Chain A
Amino acid sequence: MSDHKPEKKIKPPQSVGWMAEYTDENQLLDACRQVRDSGYTRTDAYSPFPVHGIEDALGIKPTGLPWFSLCAGATGTCVALLMQWWMNAVDYPYIISGKPYASWPAFIPVTFELTVLFAAFTTVFAMLGLNGLPKLSNPLFNNPKFDRSTDDRFFLWVDSNDKYFNSEKVKGLLESTSPVEVSEVKEDDSPTEIPRGIIWAIILLIMVSLIPAVIVLDMRNSRSRGSRIQVFFDMDYQPNHKVQGSTSWFADHRVQRPPVSGTVARGELYASDPYYLGYDPDATASNERESHFVSLQADDANSAGQVNDPNSAEAAAPELNYAWLTQIPGTVDGKMYDLGKKKFDINCSVCHGVVGNGEGLVSQRAMNLAEGYWLQPTNLAESRIVEQPVGRIYYTITHGKGKMGGYAASLTPQERWAVVLYVRALQRSQNAKSSDIPENVTLSSTAAQ
């Protein structure tokens, strides 16, 4: 009751109302009704637990607290949805697990949680706020008997600010409700100023707690040449070795370890198996391969530029000296021959001709047009090619040769080997000698066919 503050503490504390004590909640309810019907409105009852029916008995309006919760909950929903949309769809969008940036279904859990969080927080603090708590000083607490209001006694209080308040009348009314005791509530006359020491302590505490913030602000706004202060190393310093370093741990002092012999690392099969290469990489000197790499690059540079002498490409690329496979790997049978024929007819015959003599339709037309840049495809039956090991031909198909492009993209390794077989067959047929004709076949019979 702050509105009648005495000027100084000379006067004895003033009365702020009357209080009656009951042992039983039913007496309290009875008394409440009487006080209510006598017209007093500034009243309150105090009990150790919520007494049901007291709102009616005393005439207390229901609370608007649920509206606070509702509004806070709705705010929570909106904040959560907006926050997630902003985070993942606007300010930092990136695709993850195939979901859209604003995946509303995935935003539901956080939305729900924040709705509950906001509503719960507001409910508790609005309850305390509406109750005027925390309030650590209360004139009622002056009466030591009032301590039992949180234990086993019930109290009814009539405020002296009430419109109809009349000290004698109120006392009489309360006494008529069969209370244990009726007592006058005196205003709290304990000093209200906070002691100096506490104020200074609080100021000091605030100052001290600002020091770290000031240091951080200063550091953010100044430059320094020193290295950063590392509270945690964050993996900046690790006990591992640098890639090309040496170590005493292994006998060869190398940090990088060679693969265990006899093993093939994943993905390295195509780079190490002769089947896929056409030559044996282990038996081929590494400097040989590197020199070829250089020459291939030179080749690329040539073809990228102007069309030059058709024969220059061949001249630019020296013959490779690889450990070529001399035998077709795997089983060689009629099926493979059929596959090879099919693939040769599709891929090679247009240039090299169906019999491989370099007289394919494309070539014929190009020769007829007599364009200067056309290089006649090699006659595959010429002795230079016949003498090439199978691995070399495989290599040509894979990577191309001079003016001819590679066919690795359109033929699998197996199909390439099949084509090699067919090329060999063509060579044989083109260079056939009469001794190649089987005994039981006569020339006349083939002619007849």
Chain B
Amino acid sequence: MSSISLSSDETPQELSRSRQDTSDPPSQWEQQAYDPRERAALVLGEHDFTTVTDSIADIALGKTPTMWYVAMSVSLSLLSLLVVTIGYLLLTGVGVWGNNNTVSWGFPIINFVFWVGIGHAGTLISAILFLLRQNWRTGINRFAEAMTIFAVCCAGIFPGLHVGRVWLAYWLLPYPNELAMWPQARSPLLWDVFAVGTYATVSLLFWYMGMVPDLATLRDRATKRWQQLLYGVLALGWNGSSRHWMRFEKAYLLLAALATPLVLSVHSVVSFDFATSQLPGWHTTIFPPYFVAGAVFGGFAMVLTLSIPCREWFGLKHLITHRHIENMAKVMLATGMIVSYAYSVEFFMAWYSQQPYEQFVFLNRPFGPYAWAFWTMVTCNVIAPQAIWFTAVRKNVWAIFIVAMFVNVGMWFERFVIVVTSLHRDFLPSSWAMFAPTWVDLGMFLGSFGLFFTLFLLFCRFLPMVAIAEVKTVMPQAHADDHPVKFDYQPSPDTPKELRRGHWFT
């Protein structure tokens, strides 16, 4: 690594490091470079290509840890709760939900927006951070992309069921039919179908394409026949040819460039579902950026929630270092600040508009019957992330974990506040109502976590959890220019001229 370090000024970290040397080996926090001129190592410890491959491939190919079975049985039982509640819903009808005429959106839409929002971190890490040349993304992108896809799976369930007659959900798609009807392209609900559909597809493609070289690694290291077959088919015959790599990298760059505006568009479109209505509390121009920031905020909280225990349990601390965690926490803090700002702008606009309905909604939020939800949201989303400012918190990954948990809760409540408090008291007081979830609502919400964690555990167990090939590119060993010995070859003077070839030929 190119590190220009002036020996004269020692940072406090370096001092503490030399002090610590006598007793414990230095923690990752202490190993981090705190001089901005110094670049933090992305893979910690004595590692080369072989050990990096080993540490990831062994998780997928080795023996299943007992804890995995425990975790899997918990998530499978939650998943069965989802299956049961959906079955009950289909047999009985959507009346089993707590939704009523006034609060017609209720839990299904809250959960939809919650899960779709979580899905945003994955693509953000894999696409936007890629374009911004944030190399630290390599440790966590696979992980976050997987999380994205599973979160979008969970998200898709809810609006699908909320349409009421699920078996007619295909009516959402534009296809020539015997009803001689077409979907309504001037409605944000149709935009939503396309936005979420495209997002799910592109994320899946991005994820799978990025995984092909790593699947080839697993194929080549697999010893059991079924593993060789499975990974062999999935790896599509990848062999690491430099021509393949060149096209692969180009495709990756193109996908990143395509996914970047896509990730910003998806939650914008989701917010249009609200913003294009005329309901006070929804009819707001700030919604698209506010939703996108909130999605990234919630998404990073979820990545932290997953990666902190995983790096511990699967022994990936050298690849997902403290620095990775800290960087994510900082992104979470930054987006959290944007979200807090958006909250305050909403209140300002209500006051400034002098619009009685708008003002009523924004008084009803903090002081109305759902004040508890509003204040939970504020505590979790505005106050809790401020802890990240403190070094003491960032120094301890588990403290960051706790903050992330707060944010997870807070982001769910944000959607609750937006959906329920705006709907439950609209223009006509005679139609005011309260919303309370039924056991089916709660069961489906919990069950969606079951689905999420089941998929995630399967991913952790059987697929390469970290982008092996990508991590290798950011290791110092992969940087030829850092090793002055090489590139000394010159064509000998007696090489015939037609054989001294330029670049652009095959």
A binding-site residues for B, Cβ under 8 Å: 24-27, 29-30, 33-34, 36-39, 41, 44-56, 58-63, 65-66, 69, 73, 83-84, 86-88, 91-92, 96-97, 99, 103, 106-107, 109-110, 112-114, 116-117, 119-121, 123-124, 126-128, 130-131, 133-138, 140-141, 146-152, 231-232, 234
Contact = CB atoms under 8 A, between A and B. Distances in A.
A120 B205 contact: yes
Nearest to A155: B240
B53 A152 contact: yes
Contact of B242 (A39, A60, A65): A60
A109 B238 contact: no
B480 A25 contact: yes
Contact of B480 (A38, A50, A52, A123): A52
Residue of B194, B483, B488 contacting most chain A CB atoms (<10 Å): B194
B53 A151 contact: yes
Contact of A232 (B165, B201, B265, B473): B165
A50 B248 contact: yes
Contacts of A88: 182, 184-186
27 contacts: A26-B485, A27-B486, A29-B480, A33-B491, A34-B489, A39-B499, A48-B469, A49-B213, A50-B245, A51-B245, A55-B246, A88-B186, A96-B186, A97-B186, A106-B186, A109-B194, A114-B198, A116-B202, A117-B197, A123-B251, A123-B254, A124-B205, A124-B251, A130-B247, A134-B236, A231-B167, A232-B167
Interface string B466-484: 0011101100011010010
Contacts of A37: 491, 495, 499-501
Interface of B: 48-50, 53, 165, 167, 174, 180-188, 190-191, 194-195, 197-198, 201-202, 205-206, 209, 213, 216-217, 219-221, 232-233, 236-251, 254-255, 258-259, 261-262, 265, 269, 272, 468-470, 472-473, 477-478, 480, 483, 485-489, 491, 495-496, 498-506
Contact of A148 (B220, B498, B500): B220
Given A30-B486, A63-B246, A151-B50, A140 B254 contact: no
A63 B250 contact: yes
Contacts of A92: 180-182
B186 A59 contact: no
A47 B245 contact: yes
B248 A49 contact: no
A231 B91 CA distance: 11
Given A26-B485, A121-B205, A59 B501 contact: yes
Contacts, number: 248
Contacts of A51: 242, 245, 478, 480
Contacts of A134: 236-237
Contacts of B488: 30
Given A65-B247, A150-B221, 8 more contacts: A46-B239, A46-B240, A51-B242, A87-B182, A109-B265, A113-B265, A151-B49, A152-B53
A161 B99 CA distance: 71
Contacts of A96: 184, 186-187
Contact of B478 (A25, A62, A127): A25
A213 B201 CA distance: 27
A62 B503 CA distance: 10
Nearest to A52: B480
A127 B506 CA distance: 18
Nearest to B209: A124
B472 A48 contact: yes
A114 B220 CA distance: 37
A47 B480 CA distance: 14
Nearest to B183: A87
Given A61-B504, A91-B182, A109-B269, A136 B233 contact: yes
Given A50-B249, A52-B480, A63-B247, A133 B238 contact: yes
The winner among A30, A73, A152 for most chain B CB atoms within 10 A is A152
Contacts of A124: 205, 209, 251, 255
Contact of B237 (A135, A147, A232): A135
Among B181, B187, B265, B472, the one with the most A-chain Cβ atoms within 10 Å of its Cβ is B472
B49 A55 contact: no
Contacts of B221: 147, 150-151
A56 to B, nearest CB: 5
A444 B425 CA distance: 72
B274 to A, nearest CB: 14
B501 A127 contact: no
Contacts of B254: 65-66, 69, 119, 123
